[in-house]
Amino acid sequence: MKRVKVRKGNNVYEGIEIPSVDEKYLVLKLDNGYNIAFRRNEINVDIIGEFEKKSKKTEKKIRYRKELRDVSIIGTGGTIASKIDYTTGAVYPAFSPEELEKMVPEIFELANIYPREVLQILSENMNIERWK
């Protein structure tokens, strides 16, 4: 990912370049959280810095405790099971043992939890066909 400074006329904008659906446009995530798009042929761009997006951690092994009951949690996506990438503003479905442990760590003291992801879709894309 690149942090860039965009000049258009007398105006200067600074932020993170995010993917665009059309290569004719540069989309910038401003520091205030808003996105702004520019026609590439109408701007000058200076790269201020580059950085790598944080990679996902490796899956954590949840230890089994014989004295606890086994509970399966089925993830189906949706708004509640979504995360936001504050760098780009993108929202994506997320459900893993690590994320569950971060959100509700005490759950692993109550039972042996086995999270399973069966769907990974956002609420607006969920319909009856997904459940068949």
The string of pLDDT tens digits covering residues 41-59 is 999 999 999 877 665 555 5
Domain count, the chain: 2
99-113 tens-digit pLDDT: 777 778 888 889 998
Phi, psi for 131 (deg, rounded to 5): -90, -10
Residue 25 lies in a domain: yes
Whether residues 38 and 80 share a domain: the answer is no
61-77 tens-digit pLDDT: 667 899 999 998 887 77
Residue-number span of the structural domain to which 36 is assigned:
2-50
Range with the largest mean pLDDT of 1-5, 7-11, 53-57, 96-100: 7-11
Residue 61 lies in a domain: no
pLDDT at 55: 53
Whether residues 44 and 93 share a domain: the answer is no
Residue 115 lies in a domain: yes
List, as one string, the DSSP characters of the chain.
-EEEEEEETTEEEEEEEE--SSTTEEEEEETTS-EEEEEGGG-EEEEEEE-PPPPPPPPPPPPP-TTSEEEEEEE--SSTTEEE-TTT--EEE---HHHHHHH-TTHHHHEEEEEEES----GGG--HHHH-
CATH number of the domain where residue 32 is located = 2.30.30.520
Residue 60 lies in a domain: no
Residue 57 lies in a domain: no
Whether residues 75 and 106 share a domain: the answer is yes
Whether residues 127 and 74 share a domain: the answer is yes
Residue 64 lies in a domain: no
Residue 11 lies in a domain: yes
Whether residues 77 and 127 share a domain: the answer is yes
- Long-range pairs of 45-48 with CB within 8 A, sequence gap ≥ 24: 45/4, 45/5, 45/6, 45/7, 46/4, 46/5, 46/7, 47/2, 47/3, 47/4, 48/2, 48/3, 48/4, 48/5, 48/14
Whether residues 42 and 83 share a domain: the answer is no
